[in-house]
Structures are given as C-alpha cells and as structure tokens.
Amino acid sequence: MSVALHATVDGPADAPVVVLGSSLGTTGDLWQPQMAELTSRFRVVRYDHRGHGGSPVPPGSYRLEDLGGDVLALLDRLGIARAHQAGLSMGGMVAMWLAAHAPERVDRLALMCTSAQLGPPSQWVDRAAAVRAGGMPAITDMVLGRWLTPDFTANHAGVVAWVRRMFNATPPEGYAACCGVLEHMDLTGDLPSISAPTLVIAGADDPATPPEHAERIVAGIPEARLEIVPHAAHLASVEQPSTVGKLLVDFLGGGS
C-alpha cells in the first residue's frame, strides 16, 4: 500500500516535469546544488523516500515496488501524467523500476551512481542491524567515507557537515527498512524492457557503485548513454554540481 510522500515542487508551472529521487539516507535536499539550473527549464519535484525526511515511516521491511508505487501515487496526487525521472543511488533504482513497470509515466530517464543489483545481501542486513542497535551515528563515518572523496572532504568542511546532518536526521527504522530494498533488489532482468531515452552517470571514484555498475546498466538498456564524472565518489551531484547540472539539463532538455 502506497504512502503519501513528502515532496517539494519548484519551477515554472507550465514547464516539463522532472522528478528527483535521492540516495538511501538522504532527502530531496540532496539536489539543492542543481536546483537553480534545473528550475530555469523544468518543473522540479523532489521527494523523500518512505522512511526518510518528511515522509511516513511505515513498519516492516520495504521492497522496490513499494517505493515505486509511492512515486506513482505522488504523481497521481500532483496530477502529473508523465515526467522525466532522475535518481541517484536508491533513487535511480526507483526510477529504473518506474521505467520498466510504468513506462507510460516516464519520459526521459537519468540514472546517477546507481546499480541494477547491489550485493551482497548480507551487507544490507548488517547495515539495518547496526542502525537499529546504535542509531545513524553507528555508520555515519563509514558511509560518508564512501560518499565523498578524501580531497573533497578535506577541503569542503561545510558541505560535509551538511551531508552529515542530513544523514543523521534519517529515522533509523526508515533507513533499516529501506536496507531491505537493496537486500532484495535485482533489476537486471528489467533493463532490456526499458524504452525511455536513458543517461547513466557514474562517479569515477565511487566505491559504493563503481563505474562497472553503470556500464552494466548501459549494456542492458537499449541505446543508453554513459557519462563518467571525474573527481567524484558516490554523491557526484554534491562533489561536481556544475558538471552534473549541465549533464541533466542538456539530456532532459532533449539532448542525446
């Protein structure tokens, strides 16, 4: 059963709609570095996954189809028949699910620092157990070490503190339940059915979803295109905001 996601809507009311999904442990605020550029061309919908930010935290482990169903219900609530879908990490997984299972609702597809299958499952079982036992701070340093390159961390203390606050504000039970999404998620069989024009963006230095994961997605989705962003780990949109913003605007605006 879907839940009513918290979402913010910005940009011209008559512009094409872009829906932005974020990574596990973040909110729609993750896209703030791209908002000025995106809202100059698009109506931008940023949502919080269930268990995150201002969205409800229903009990139990979640599945990818739950998160995808929440986004479809959000589109219905906002009266949006069809939109571009862009997502980073778990947000990209949701976007792929939508493109495969509700293709009539998806125009263009932009996937960033994501994967069609992100194992081993035990990794996510252990993560869920850790935050249920010790809260978000039990894993914060480990996660941020994979999200941002050492050089960026050393030179952008304010941005790192912002990411840390966002991560630590995630409800532990919501994070743990979303770990179940990644534990069971396998989109590899869905990739060939995706017909939306697709851009896949990878961070060159991403240890969480290395470029090989992006390459596998590109190999599976017909005519998908790959862009590798240098000097970026998992949160490429944070480390290289201008590069990512330009890639998104150019592609979602109709570029190949």
203 versus 60: the higher-pLDDT residue is 203
Instruction: Supply the pLDDT for residue 83.
Output: 98
pLDDT higher than 70, residue 171 = yes
Exposed/middle/buried for residue 37 (C-beta within 10 Å: 0-12, 13-18, 19+)? middle
Asked if the model's pLDDT at residue 255 lies above 70, the reply is: no
Closest CA to 86 of 201, 174, 3, 187: 201
- The dihedral region occupied by 84, where left means phi > 0, alpha psi between -120 and 50, and beta the remainder, is beta
Is 90 exceeded by the pLDDT of residue 32? Answer: yes
Question: What are 124-158's pLDDT values in tens digits?
Answer: 999 999 999 999 999 999 999 999 999 999 999 99
pLDDT at 198 over 80: yes
Query: Going by C-beta distance under 8 Å and a sequence separation of 6 or more, which residues neighbour residue 81?
Result: 75, 105
pLDDT of 183 strictly over 70:
yes
Q: In which band, very low, low, confident or very high, does the pLDDT at 3 lie, cut at 50, 70 and 90?
A: very high
Is residue 24 scored above 80 in pLDDT? yes
2 - beta bridge partners?
none
**pLDDT for res 256:** 60
Q: Distance (Å, rounded) from C-alpha 80 to C-alpha 181?
A: 26
pLDDT at position 254 is 85
| Helix/strand/coil (H/E/C) assignment for every residue in the chain | CCCCCCEEEECCCCCCEEEEECCCCCCHHHHHHHHHHHHCCCEEEEECCCCCCCCCCCCCCCCHHHHHHHHHHHHHHHCCCCEEEEEECHHHHHHHHHHHHCHHHEEEEEEECCCCCCCCHHHHHHHHHHHHHHCHHHCHHHHHHHHCCHHHHHHCHHHHHHHHHHHHCCCHHHHHHHHHHHHHCCCCCCHHHCCCCEEEEEECCCCCCCHHHHHHHHHHCCCCEEEEECCCCCCHHHHCHHHHHHHHHHHHCCCC
Across the range 72-100, mean pLDDT stands at 98
What is the tens place of the pLDDT at every residue in 204-240? 999 999 999 999 999 999 999 999 999 999 999 999 9
* pLDDT of amino acid 253: 94
* CATH of region 7-252: 3.40.50.1820
Beta pairing partners, 17: 43
